[in-house]
Structure 1
Amino acid sequence: MEVFGLGIHVLVAIFFAIHVVRTGQNMYWLAILFMFPLLGSVVYGIAIYLPSSRIEHGAKKVISVAGKLLDPDRELRAAKEAFEYTPTAQNQMRLAAALLAANQPQEAAQHYEACLQGPFASDPAIRLGAAQANFACARFEACLTHLQTLRQQSPHNASEVVAVLMARSLAGMGRTSEARAEFEFALQKYGNFDTRAEYAIWAQSLGDTETAQRLKAELDQTINRWSKHNRELNAEMLRRLRDAF
């Protein structure tokens, strides 16, 4: 039994050693794990492995969701109080993001636009936030202007998000051929689930059932392989797909 127990300790240490290498942790963990298999594994598991595991992420998500259900406006209130007490650009950015998350895009857009007039005018995150807020207000032309500026100034920043939002803005402006070209560009260059889903939803709304059904079939293949966790993370997109089709 002692030999069996020692073997388990070594296997656990090897498992954590693989995790060290794959995740780029400091190499001194390897020495600790193999010099002290039991104690080293316990320390590594608590200090490194659990905080990066799905268990930890799942727990944080449950806490976050519970907090939003019990007090959905907590972050918005805190952001407003911080900005009123100290009206810095950083606090204004926080307030703009909280307003957008709280489905108050018009006020969010105002704060984002104000941030772009100051020293953070070239900040890509603020520019993207301004674009998203304007899109939520159905101000598609303003959204498109921000996205074009963002693509010119920072071509590698959130490029997939920019491409899809640009396609949706063009669609909102009735520029159908340009919207299709941007969707195709995003699909060919990135082709992840959200890009494919947005394209499918738009094609279905346009009456292009051939494109919509082709994309939907590809999406269904991915969805069928998803775990419950993945379905929960993408619940809003799955709802939109069900409504569209």
Structure 2
Amino acid sequence: MPFFIISILMQVCLVVHIVKTGRNTTWIWIVVMLPLAGALAYLIVEVLPDMFGSHGGRAATRIIQQKLNPNKSLKAAAQNYAIADTVQNSAQLAQEMLGKGMFVEAGKLYENCLKGVHEDDPYLMHGLAQALFGQNKFQAVKSLLDELIQKNPDFKNADAHLLYARTLEALGEQGALEEYQVLHGYYPGPEASYRLAVFLRQLGRIDEANLILQEIMKKALYAGKHYIRQHRVWIKKTKAEIASRPRQSSSEQEI
């Protein structure tokens, strides 16, 4: 369908919404005269605030804000860091950099944070490990995570555990399978289970891998739409893995 027709339909729907909800009629002229910008402005200013009370509304708002200004959080963190070079601001900026793939820069910030009273902070050490992993410095990641748990034996973090398993896999160490199997039993979400299945397939243990992939899809089927949205990336990857084998159940295709 041509973009022009879609634009017209969108305008009609928004005008109907404006009238039905009793909004200021000025919005009608804004939507009509500025098709794309006006529609976007109406959605952000009028529609989304009404949805703030729901999880879906907050999620939709975050998505739109991210599309409009993808570097907003990074810029805000950088500004806070420029104003005050504190450990908290440094760690926040480093975390934003990790999300943008700026692993070298994030690593330097984490290293600067790991001093004095924060020398053994497990969250900062985990952050640095993530940055090193992004640089493919797997041996350094393993050493750092070993040190983390040695100095913080009570620290429990599923993401750090998964990072350790992935590091062992990257290094070709046998302990990777055991770590993935433990994660499969408690990790929130399907990522760890998916990685275990892929790893098992690489080891030639196809039947075991396929069973785990089926488990992921069954859980997604019964968990509902929120779970599927939250873990969309890993469910999509699981589908791709399942599609690469000869048989695929109809229940898996419905999600």
Q: 1:56 aligns to what? A: 54
1:215 corresponds to 2:216:
no
Percent identical residues: 25
CA distance in 2, matches of 1:55, 1:206: 47
1:226 paired with 2:223, answer yes
1:99 paired residue number:
97
Letter in 2 for 1:195: A
CA offset digits 1:32-77 (Å, max 9, x no partner): xxxxxxxxxxxxxxxxxxxxxx953222211111111110101111
For 2:154 and 2:206, locate their aligned partners in 1 and report how far apart those are by CA, in whole Å. Answer: 33
Specify the SS of the correspondent of 2:118: coil
Is the partner of 1:155 in helix, strand or coil?
A: coil
Aligned to 2:124: 126
Residue type matched to 1:239 in 2?
A: K
2:182 corresponds to 1:185: yes
RMSD: 2.3
Conservation of the 8 A alpha-carbon contact between 2:216 and 2:235: no
Structure-1 residue corresponding to 2:234: 237
- Whole-angstrom distance in 2 between the partners of 1:106 and 1:62: 31
CA–CA distance in 1 between the matches of 2:154 and 2:64? 35
**Cα distance between partner residues in 2 of 1:71 and 1:208:** 45
Contact 2:158-2:187 at 8 Å conserved across structures: no
Counterpart pick for 1:154 among 152, 158, 161: 152
Equivalent position of 2:142 in the other structure: 144
Q: Deviations over 1:156-208 (max 9, x none)?
A: 43432232221110000111x211122223334x2553332221132234443
Deviation at 1:228, TM superposition (A): 1.8
Q: Find the aligned partners of 1:155 and 1:187 in 2 and give their Cα distance.
A: 21
1:191/1:69 Cα in 2 relative to 1: closer, same or farther (>3 Å)?
closer
Q: Which runs of 5+ in 1 are unaligned?
A: 1-53
1:55 & 1:157 partners in 2: Cα distance? Answer: 34
Mapped to 2, the partners of 1:201 and 1:74 lie a distance apart of 35
Scaled by the length of structure 1, what TM-score is found? 0.70
The question of whether the paired residues in 2 share the 8 Å contact of 1:151 and 1:159 is answered with: no
* Distance across 1 between alignment mates of 2:166 and 2:228: 24
Task: Check conservation: 2:141, 2:167, Cα contact below 8 A.
Answer: yes
Q: How many residue pairs align between the two structures?
A: 191
Cα 1:107–1:167 shift into 2, 3 Å: same
Deviations 1:15-39 (A, max 9, x none): xxxxxxxxxxxxxxxxxxxxxxxxx
Per the alignment, residue 69 of structure 1 pairs with 67
Partner of 2:22: none
d(CA) in 2 for partners of 1:161, 1:119: 24
State the TM-score, normalized to the length of structure 2: 0.67
Please give the alpha-carbon distance, in whole angstroms, between the structure 1 residues aligned to 2:163 and 2:112: 22
Q: Note the residue ranges of structure 2 that are not aligned, 5 or more in a row.
A: 1-51, 243-255
- Provide the residue aligned with 1:43 in structure 2: none
| 3-state SS of 2:222 partner | coil
